[in-house]
Structure 1
């Protein structure tokens, strides 16, 4: 039986913190789907196509990573991929409290287990929201986002 995980998010942008989580989950899974979804409550800075292309550029040489768009409930996406696990990264206790509620709901809705990893300490300050604010002010975000040039502002 293949062990399949889904790492979902809007990834606006996909930070080195996200990379840290995916890279540490890699040895545990036969396939990891990085599902780039839309959140109806968010206004995105980068186009969906460029977010997907950006993540693909990071994992171009990693055959166990599949990057694609998805719509709808994350648990439905997990079912469509036959994924047994949802993968999430945590920076702090605020993230944990938020993610715990979602994990419990996903378990109830679709019997999908959520696995959490703490982001490495040196990356725990990274936030897509903060990085977008730096980029909007023409600040240099190359230290926080690999292959930043792949991203296209909407």
Structure 2
């Protein structure tokens, strides 16, 4: 069985994330979506809220497993016998950082990283930008799935 992981903080999940997950789900038998927990960062959404949003937004794929994980991504992969990490690249600036991470992960565990170019429609999109625009009352409905719009409205009532 071919398995891969799409890791991230997903705070919140965006249409760009979903594009990468969807494309990975067509290439692999099982795609793990790992919500990586960074205890030093305070997110807008709790880990449980992120997991629920991703579950709702990916329910139609049929081969996606969603989990939270605290620690090294390579440990997550080892524990689940996952040989590949799938990452979306938005711009050249992403590549510099992601290449270093891919080389480190491969050196630590032999896990391969596959880079998928982001759909140009989402090349500028990040969770941080979505949160900033939503905080100031901007319309993000074309950038995130409906359940995220609903949760943003609940979390940011003054928008």
The interval holding the TM-score normalised by the smaller chain is over 0.9
Unaligned runs of 5+ in 2: none
| Larger fraction in helix | 2
Look up the match of 1:134: 133
Look up the match of 1:27: 26
Q: TM-score, normalised by structure 2?
A: 0.90
- Residues 22 and 61 of structure 2 are in contact (CA less than 8 Å); yes or no, is this contact kept in structure 1? no
In 2 relative to 1, CA 79–153 (structure 1 residues): closer, same or farther, beyond 3 Å? farther
Look up the match of 1:3: 2
Look up the match of 1:66: 65
Displacement of 1:88 after TM fit?
0.3
Q: How many residues align?
A: 153
Question: Given the alignment of the two structures, is residue 105 of structure 1 paired with residue 104 of structure 2, yes or no?
Answer: yes
Distance in 2 separating the partners of 1:13 and 1:108? 30
Q: TM-score, normalised by structure 1?
A: 0.93
- Report runs of 4+ in structure 1 exceeding 3 Å deviation: 150-154
Relative contact order, CA 8 A, sep 6+: which one is greater? 1
Unaligned runs of 5+ in 1: none
Look up the match of 1:122: 121
